[in-house]
Structure formats: structure tokens, C-alpha cells
């Protein structure tokens, strides 16, 4: 794989300890054919299994991963699992670990990928947060699993559908406002419904738990067809991966 094929993969712009490694892929750098072109990393969307396997191998090789990522069966819920203790694929929407060399991963194509680490570089987490998960408390569940005060955590919001593109109905707004009236500021009225700001909703949830060091959150998967997969835009499409892990070796845990 050529270096330029993965030059636009996203490296979090946050002051994480050097032992923390994190990244979100884009569409670039794989072998999948349309409509999954080209670096689809999901094995549940109808893509050729051989292409997905080749893409995952490219991911491991390109990043020099210490292990195969811990892939989850995401269910739009609030479950967070210990990635180091899984023996198979879990139905969950996030994973965490304090063990160096264990790679937490989530797959997205409009939903919000959230990466977390503590300032000491001792624990990390990857979270898949669509609107259902956000409303249900997946961020709060992940913060509980991190087992650190909010002031000791860093959060990075990866590429998700942006506030100009995310059309939702009254029931979505109602679910958030019922939990926190301040969530109303993350919705803007349009004909027939609302536009929702996933990034703002996530920041509100993080702030309520004392997490103020929040980075990223300025992309739109729906609007940037060349760079990102978008389920709402395309239907049949691939998935990007957001990964985070602690480097093995001295200082890695």
C-alpha cells in the first residue's frame, strides 16, 4: 500500500500521552469495490469477505498494530466491554482497556466515534455513539468504565454526520430534552422536523460529567463523499474504523 493512500487518515489532535495511539481511517487505501470502495473494514455490510479481510490486514500492516483490533457487534445500545477479556465478538457499543497491546475499535458511517484516554496514559476506550446510544447513555457508560474523574480524561470526537445534514424527527429531540432541557440548543427547526448536532450533544454529555478537554468534532461524513462513508447518504456503503490502544513496552501500563 502506498503512503499517499493513507495520508488523509485522521490522527487525533489532542495532547494525549505518547503511549496512547489513536486513529480514524477514511475511505482511502483499500481493495473493496463500489459501493464499498475502498477501505471498508466492516464484515456485516454485504462487501466481499475476502476484500474485508485484505483491508483489515492492510490496516494491521500499515499501523504496525500490536494485535488484531477487538471488533464489536454494534447494537446502538450502551454496553461497554473490557476488550482484554473478550474471547469472541460481543454485542456492545464500546470497549475499554488498561492492558497495553489491546486495540479497541469501533466502526462508523455517520454515527459518532468517540475516543477516550486518561492523562496518565493508563486506560483508553473507543465508543460508537449514534443518537440512540447518546440518548441512552453510552457516553456515561464509557466514562463509568474509564473509572477516572472527568478532569483526568481527554476525549476526541471523530468524523460523524454534521449538523447541517442530520435530519431527525420530534421523537429524537424529545428523547434528549427529556433527559436534559439544555439539549434543545443542539436542535434547529426545519420543515417537517429538526437538524441535530451530534457533536454538541456529545460535548454536553461529556461536560456534565466533568470532561472539559474535548477535541475534534468538525467533520461531516454526509457532505464529504470523497473522504467518508455515509449510511444516510448512500445506504449500501462501507465503514471507517476508529482505533485506540496503549503501546506495549516501558511506560505502556
Q: Closest by alpha carbon to 109, among 25, 53, 11, 6?
A: 25
pTM to 2 decimals?
0.95
Would you say how long the chain is, in residues? Answer: 253
Query: What whole-number distance in Å separates Cα of residue 19 and Cα of residue 30?
Result: 27
Beta-carbon-side half-sphere exposure of residue 112 (alpha carbons within 13 Å):
29
Q: Note the CATH number of domain 3-162+214-246.
A: 3.60.140.10
Residue 250: the pLDDT is 57
Pairing of the two strands 20-24 and 240-246: antiparallel
* Residue range 41-61, pLDDT digits in tens: 999 999 999 999 999 999 999
* Residue range 184-236, pLDDT digits in tens: 999 999 988 999 999 999 999 999 999 999 999 999 999 999 999 999 999 99
Cell of 160: 460523524
Domain ranges of the chain: 3-162+214-246
Amino acid at each position: 500500500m502506498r503512503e499517499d493512500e493513507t495520508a488523509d487518515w485522521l490522527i487525533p489532535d489532542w495532547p494525549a500521552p505518547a503511549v496512547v495511539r489513536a486513529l480514524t481511517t477514511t475511505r482511502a487505501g483499500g481493495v473493496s469495490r463500489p459501493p464499498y470502495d475502498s477501505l471498508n473494514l466492516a464484515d456485516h455490510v454485504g462487501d466481499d469477505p475476502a476484500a474485508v479481510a485484505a483491508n483489515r490486514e492492510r490496516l494491521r500492516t500499515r499501523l504496525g498494530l500490536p494485535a488484531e483490533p477487538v471488533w464489536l457487534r454494534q447494537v446502538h445500545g450502551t454496553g461497554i466491554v473490557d476488550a482484554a477479556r473478550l474471547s469472541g465478538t460481543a454485542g456492545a457499543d464500546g470497549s475499554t482497556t488498561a492492558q497495553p497491546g489491546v486495540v479497541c475499535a469501533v466502526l462508523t458511517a455517520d454515527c459518532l466515534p468517540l475516543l477516550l484516554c486518561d492523562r496518565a496514559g493508563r486506560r483508553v476506550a473507543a465508543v460508537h455513539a449514534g443518537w440512540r446510544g447518546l440518548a441512552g447513555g453510552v457516553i456515561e457508560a464509557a466514562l463509568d468504565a474509564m473509572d477516572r474523574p472527568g478532569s483526568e480524561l481527554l476525549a476526541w470526537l471523530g468524523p460523524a454526520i454534521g449538523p447541517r445534514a442530520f435530519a431527525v424527527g420530534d421523537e429524537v429531540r424529545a428523547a434528549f430534552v427529556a433527559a436534559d432541557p439544555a439539549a434543545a440548543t443542539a436542535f434547529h427547526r426545519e420543515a417537517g422536523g429538526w437538524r441535530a448536532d451530534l457533536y454538541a450533544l456529545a460535548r454536553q454529555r461529556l461536560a456534565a460529567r466533568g470532561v472539559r478537554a474535548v477535541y475534534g468534532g468538525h467533520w461531516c461524513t454526509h457532505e464529504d463523499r470523497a473522504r467518508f462513508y455515509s449510511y444516510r447518504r448512500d445506504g449500501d456503503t462501507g465503514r471507517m474504523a476508529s482505533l485506540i490502544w496503549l503501546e506495549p513496552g516501558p511506560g505502556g501500563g
